[in-house]
Structure 1
């Protein structure tokens, strides 16, 4: 039996959250002209990784969860 009770216990989710936080921190240093261009695109991409893990966990079946992972 696994000790994992939540997707938050997954190392991959924890690392994805750390990456998203780092991306937000670093993207604040981008030039103003990239404020709504590249910066926002990179931020959305970094947040999508942990979001997909969490959303997949909420699905009703293992195949759905695996698809999100």
Structure 2
């Protein structure tokens, strides 16, 4: 676990979400991350849809927001 996501007083709290989307052939829907070294994690790599959640945001709402923003 990353030290910035854990609390010595309690368990880690989930701050992000991912979605695994497939078609009938079992192929995955993925996106290619921007090529911005030093700005985003894992630049120019393939990734599942997802991202960080806003405070109080439902996981499904975060997935939809990331899909609309990135798509």
TM-score between the two structures when normalised by the length of structure 2:
0.23
Q: Which has the higher strand share?
A: 2
Structure that is richer in helix per residue: 1
